[in-house]
Chain A
Amino acid sequence: AQTVTQSQPEMSVQEAETVTLSCTYDTSESDYYLFWYKQPPSRQMILVIRQEAYKQQNATENRFSVNFQKAAKSFSLKISDSQLGDAAMYFCAYEGANFGNEKLTFGTGTRLTIIP
C-alpha cells in the first residue's frame, strides 16, 4: 500500500517570503501522480499543483512550484511571494496511474500560517 508522509504539522512564513512544505511517499509503482491540495477554512479542497511521475520536469503554477525527486520519493511544494490568502491546510496526495487505482492517498497535512 502507498503511504504519504508530511513531517511538518505546522509552518509559518512572513508575507512576501518563500516557504517550502515537505512530502515523502512510499510506493512500489513506477507510474503515478502526485498532488498538492489546499484546504482553506471553508474546507473546500482546491488543487494547487500536480506532477506526473514520468515527467522529469518539475511542475510550476505561478507562485507554486514543486521539487520532485523520484528516486528519493520526495515531493516538496515551494510557495514564493507568500500572500495572506495562502493560509490554509496543505495536503500532499498520491494517486496510482493504473486504471482502477485512481483513489487518492493523503498525507496528514501541514497548516500554513502567513505572518503579515
Chain B
Amino acid sequence: GAVVSQHPSRVICKSGTSVKIECRSLDFQATTMFWYRQFPKQSLMLMATSNEGSKATYEQGVEKDKFLINHASLTLSTLTVTSAHPEDSSFYICSASWAYYLEAFFGQGTRLTVV
C-alpha cells in the first residue's frame, strides 16, 4: 500500500508556544488529507479536511485559528497548533487519499504533550 509519513512522532512543547506537525505522502499524490485527534482510549475524531491548494474545511467545534492547516502541495500537509495549552495534549493522526483509491492511508501519528 501507499506510504504516509508523519513527523515528528513525539513532541513536547511549552504552554503558549506553537508546534508544527508534517504529513507527507511518499509515493503518491494526495488530493485530500485529513487530520484526526485521538484522546486516550477513545476513537479518532476528524478535525479537518484539506485539499491541495484550497482552504481546509474544519469540523464543527474545531478552532481554525488554533489548529492551522496548510496543504500547499500534493504531497505535504501541515498542522500547526498555535499558542498550545495543556488541554491540546493529544495524539494527532493524519491520513491521505487520492481520488482513485478506495481507502485512505494513515501516518504513524504524533503524540503532543504541552507542559
Q: List residues of chain A with CB under 8 Å of any chain B CB.
A: 33, 35, 42-45, 47, 50, 52, 91, 99, 102-109
Contact = CB atoms under 8 A, between A and B. Distances in A.
Given A33-B102, A104-B95, A104-B104, 16 more contacts: A35-B103, A42-B108, A43-B109, A44-B109, A45-B106, A50-B102, A52-B102, A91-B44, A102-B32, A103-B46, A103-B49, A104-B46, A106-B43, A106-B45, A108-B42, A109-B43
Contact of A43 (B1, B34, B46, B91): B91
Contacts of B112: none
Contacts, number: 43
Pick the most buried of B1, B97, B104: most chain A CB atoms within 10 A of its CB. B104
A100 to B, nearest CB: 9
B104 A91 contact: no
A103 B34 contact: yes
A108 B43 contact: yes
Interface residues of B, number: 21
Given A103-B34, A103-B49, A50 B103 contact: yes
A76 to B, nearest CB: 18
Given A103-B49, A108-B43, A44 B108 contact: yes
A35 B97 CA distance: 15
A16 B109 CA distance: 31
Given A35-B103, A43-B91, A104 B34 contact: yes
A45 B103 contact: no
A91 B93 CA distance: 15
10 contacts: A42-B108, A43-B91, A45-B93, A45-B95, A50-B102, A102-B32, A103-B34, A103-B49, A106-B44, A109-B42
